Amino acid sequence: MQEILSKIDSTSYLFMINNKIVKTKVFDDEKSNYEISEFDGYDYDKNTLKNTMQMSLKDIHKINKLIFKDVEEKIKKGKLFSIYYKDKNIYNNTTIVISFAPIPNLNNDVVAYIIHYKFGHFIDIVLNNIRILFMVLTLLAILLSILLSMLTFNENKKRQAMYDFAVHDALTGIYNRHGVNEVLNQKLEEFKRNKKDFSVIFFDIDFFKKVNDTYGHDMGDYVLENIVKIVATEIRASDIFARWGGEEFIIFLPNTKSIYAVDIAEKLRKLIQNHAFSNIKNVTCSFGVTQLMEQDTKSSFLKRVDTLLYKAKESGRNKVVSDY
């Protein structure tokens, strides 16, 4: 930053950014690149705090401590402005022009400032070339705005990746129990508002422990991944498929009556039964199917389908049991 600004002219610049941006958008290991400024709510970018400017950094800090109250309200308004300052103890009472150039983000909110310091004997030059100066500062503001946007984008991308990891099953890539619980809460609210049909299929793999014990956990993972592929191919994009835990899976079917959900479950049961799982002779699954009722809570809805799955397993496995 300092190198770029110095190439424009040889006077003095500082860059400060809203400390809320630093706290919420800057990675933890990069926050040490900022320090508190004399201006309330803003931090300096340390990269611009260098004693290579026309004015000494020590004198600039003295000036800022003396003017911060005078400019505080103007900074809050996010406007471009300049002030004239002189002090007998700083550069022998020489007039100094201090300009504050706001930097907006994509939402047009001011999130940073470039502060420009220039001795009074440059005033005529500044006044005669004010439009050029402001154009340069505007271009710099755009550049910094782009950089801030990239920073925000990368931070959002990182947060989205962390969220996706938290709500998806690491082995199969479908929703995990935590993720599907969030979706289910939303769907239950939609059902209450719109009174639309909403069914669920709950199934698990029969004798899965035996698969792991006989063929090893790698083969167990292979079976889980292939069952997910079979199911994912057959269900709709609007259906919600999740690994509930271990060898248990759940499918939520919006706009679907239980009679049709049973047909889907039966089709999946047959596809899994007839699929060739490497050197395992065959794998089967047991299914429970029910439809959301008006008086249901999330707890009662899930408990009912869990009971139906238990009945399927108790009555011989490899079958679909529903309550319609």
CATH code, 227: 3.30.70.270
Q: Are residues 162 and 192 in the same domain?
A: no
Residue at a domain's end among 109, 135, 166: 166
Q: Looking at residues 266-270, what average pLDDT do you find? A: 97
Cα(231)–Cα(15) distance, rounded to whole angstroms? Answer: 55
d(CA 136, CA 141): 9
Q: What is the pLDDT of residue 162?
A: 62
Closest among 247, 277, 268 to 320, alpha carbons compared: 268
The reply to whether 122 and 183 lie within a common domain is no
pLDDT tier at 69 (50, 70, 90 boundaries)?
very high
Among 118, 136, 166, give the residue marking a domain's end. 166
Note whether 155 and 222 are same-domain residues.
no
Instruction: Report H helices in the chain.
Output: 2-8, 19-25, 57-77, 123-128, 130-167, 177-194, 208-215, 217-234, 258-274, 298-314
Pick from 140, 166, 192: which residue ends a domain? 166
Q: What's the domain range around 266?
A: 177-322
Catalytically active residues, by annotation: 247
Q: How far apart are CA 308 and CA 109, in angstroms?
A: 55
Query: Does the residue 9 lie in any domain?
Result: yes
* Residues 97 and 129 both lie in one domain: yes
User: Would you say residue 125 lies in a domain?
Assistant: yes
The answer on 141 and 181 residing in a single domain is: no
Pair (28, 154) in one structural domain: yes
Residue 128 has pLDDT above 60, yes or no: no
| Tokens 């030059």, residue located | 125
Average pLDDT value for the chain: 85
**Is residue 310 assigned to a domain?**
yes
Helix axes 217-234, 258-274, angle to 10 degrees: 140
Q: Are residues 225 and 96 in the same domain?
A: no
Min mean pLDDT across 33-37, 193-197, 209-213, 215-219 is at 193-197
In a domain, 171, yes or no: no
- Shared domain for 92 and 203, answered yes or no, is no
Q: Are residues 74 and 207 in the same domain?
A: no
- Is residue 136 scored above 50 in pLDDT? yes
Q: Do 107 and 14 belong to one domain?
A: yes
Please report how many Cα atoms fall inside a 13 Å half-sphere around the Cα of residue 280, on the Cβ side. Answer: 24
Backbone angles phi, psi at 98, to 5 degrees: -120, 120
Structural domain tally of the chain?
A: 2
Q: What is the mean pLDDT of residues 208-216?
A: 91
> Do 86 and 197 reside in the same domain of the chain?
no
Which two tokens mark 17?
């950014």
Average pLDDT over residues 189-198: 83
